Amino acid sequence: MSLSGHRGGRFAPTKWGRLVISWVRGALGKMTNRLRIYHPVQTLCLLGLSLALPLAGCVGGSRSPSGFQDGNSAENARQDLRETVSLPSGTEDGVPSICLENILPESLGITFVHTDGSSGNYYIVETVTAGVAIFDYDGDLFPDIYFLNGAPLPGWSGREKPANALYRNAGNWSFVDVTDVTGTGDPGYGLGVAAADYNNDGFLDLYVNNFGPNVLYRNNGDGTFTDVTEQAGVNAGNLVGAGAAFLDVDNDGLLDLYVANYVNFNFQNHVFHRREGYPEYAGPRDYQPVPDILYRNQGDGTFVDISEAAGIARHPGTGMGLVTCDYDRDGDMDIFVLNDVAQNFLFRNDGKGHFEEVAVISGTAFNVYGDELGSMGVDCGDFDGDGNIDFFMTSYQGEFPVLYRNLGNGLFEDVTALTGAGAGAYPYVNWGTGMVDLDNDGDLDLFIANGHLQDQIDLYDQTTAYRVEDVVLANDGKGNFRRISPRCFLGPRAIHSSRGCAFDDLDSDGKLDVVVLNSREAPTIWRNRSRGDNSWLRLILVGTQSNRSAVGAWVTVESGSRRQVAQVVSGRGYQSHWGLTLHFGLGQTKKVEKVEIRWPSGTTHQLQELPVCQEIVVIEGELPRWLVLPR
């Protein structure tokens, strides 16, 4: 790849660094004079974007095979209901290539402990909290973590004052609680979260979907946030919220906001159950479903509710997780919403911000047997490498999660049994999930966070448990999955009642780490210790004509014989957020032949002959300019 003005114009990828490539329109040319390189933190200031650029290696840290857990101790007998672990290809000596080490959060400076505000009254909202977000709030390229928390409910006797918590990633596996200084400690009953730059000022903002009024935090760009909910008009009333997502529904360069809602619950219509003499939480069918809300960004800091005009309000549901993507590749963002014990919704965008609900005709409303499932979390990605975005959703105990293969003609098929995508998840209640490449071999693996919602379940159901382990399914490169957990886990066993989870490279080693929010407990932090020297590529896209976060940008990466696609998404999984930075595992490939970016504005650009093991910032524009940051 030619590089103007750098050591003869060629890049020698012998040491891993970070590369910035930008297309800057003529009108923006003078702004490139603001580019400054600082030592030693190497900060890039361009178009109002401040990015600290630490160097990253291609190979992760060391690991010890002796740290693997055999899962056979008597205290974990309940776990033996799982089938025998099948090891995928690429394992050595019975050890999976994917290795996740449980790092105790307090050793990292993370002291957050979740509360659901419960008092023995068994309010349904206690079961559905909460999600977690990984996003870079301060622009230093170290992903930060935002944990949602519950709030006191009637009868609660706790002394603490629970609130959401933001932890700044200080590097080297050290986190600092910046909740107070940033002003992000919402004391509301947190359920779902999404992050993106809704006002195109270069800084990521934060939306929290609560039981009760929601919160929009505007990032001030100085390390603080301002609550602009009322000014923006997005508090959504006193509903029981669920997932949320920013997306540009009409490709006008402004991010709109989709807010999923669960059920019409309040303390006056509370339903209480008993099962075999034990208290039990009510289910979604005990309450009326409610419609979701779609807010259109007016461009002046305010939003307007267009749910009715857009065709959303006519479909009340029991919303949980959601994900937005262009599943039919027609250039606009569609919305897939999971509904709890009801048919799912797939809202197809007509390109003008009006949606048609097509879940039944597309094959995504039910599973292959036509069942309404206890749908929880959902992610999207191309698991089989055919160039189409597929869906994976989690479900309830006694139900398999569902892998929907995109057939490319507007239709999907449930291929869960065919691919083995449900292995090990059947006995559990599944919540958070991600279609992510955990070992950088070029295909998407599956991570599932588990835990029951009935806290008395151990007393009357011997087939499951309230606190259980997460499940990891490895992709064999052909779209087939094999369960490799718990043998892929290192460190202390993580037995929790988990909810949302999120994924990002927390330590700049080129491997995706995992953060799991656990109900009533501290979170789980999985450090990725996967073996091997597989290559990778990370892309941070910055829109100029498109929305600044480039949500909706479609990226194709060609390396060796492999072709991968991905889309920038805000809000996904179980009421969680991650993924504004795209991560591609490349296997043993030592260069990337081509990267093609289709921006939401309709502009398409190509990058040729890129080195691997890089994090690349790409600025939307017309005239190509590039810079290799000094080491």
- In sequence order, which residues have a C-beta less than 8 Å from that of residue 572 and are 6 or more positions away? 245, 321, 322, 323, 378, 379, 380, 434, 578, 579
Low-confidence ranges of the chain (pLDDT < 50): 1-93, 624-631
- In sequence order, which residues have a C-beta less than 8 Å from that of residue 382 and are 6 or more positions away? 388, 389, 390, 444, 564, 565, 566
622 contacts 6 by C-beta, under 8 angstroms: no
pLDDT score, position 459: 95
pLDDT score, position 49: 41
pLDDT score, position 94: 56
DSSP-derived secondary structure letter, 371: P
pLDDT score, position 50: 39
Give the up-direction half-sphere exposure of residue 348: CA atoms within 13 A in the CB hemisphere. Answer: 15
Report the sign of the C-alpha dihedral through residues 283, 289, 292, 293, in that order: negative
DSSP-derived secondary structure letter, 507: T
pLDDT score, position 69: 33
Tokens of 500: 């949302």
Q: Provide the edge-to-edge strand list for the sheet that holds 205-211.
A: 189-196, 205-211, 215-219, 225-227
- In sequence order, which residues have a C-beta less than 8 Å from that of residue 159 and are 6 or more positions away? none
CB 482: neighbour CB atoms within 10 A? 20
Residue 320's closest CA among 262, 234, 245, 277?
262
CA–CA gap between residue 411 and residue 408 (Å, rounded): 7
Domains annotated for the chain, with CATH where assigned, are 65-528 (2.130.10.10)
pLDDT score, position 95: 62
pLDDT score, position 309: 98
* DSSP labels, 423-459: TTTTTS-EEEEEEE-SS-SSS-EEEEEE--S-TTGGG
pLDDT score, position 628: 39
Beta strand spans in 112-204 (E): 132-135, 144-147, 165-169, 175-177, 189-196
Q: What is the three-class DSSP state of 390?
A: strand
Q: Which amino acid is at 344?
A: N
pLDDT score, position 532: 84
- In sequence order, which residues have a C-beta less than 8 Å from that of residue 409 and are 6 or more positions away? none
CB 3: neighbour CB atoms within 10 A? 16
Helix (H) or strand (E) holding 13: none
pLDDT score, position 237: 87
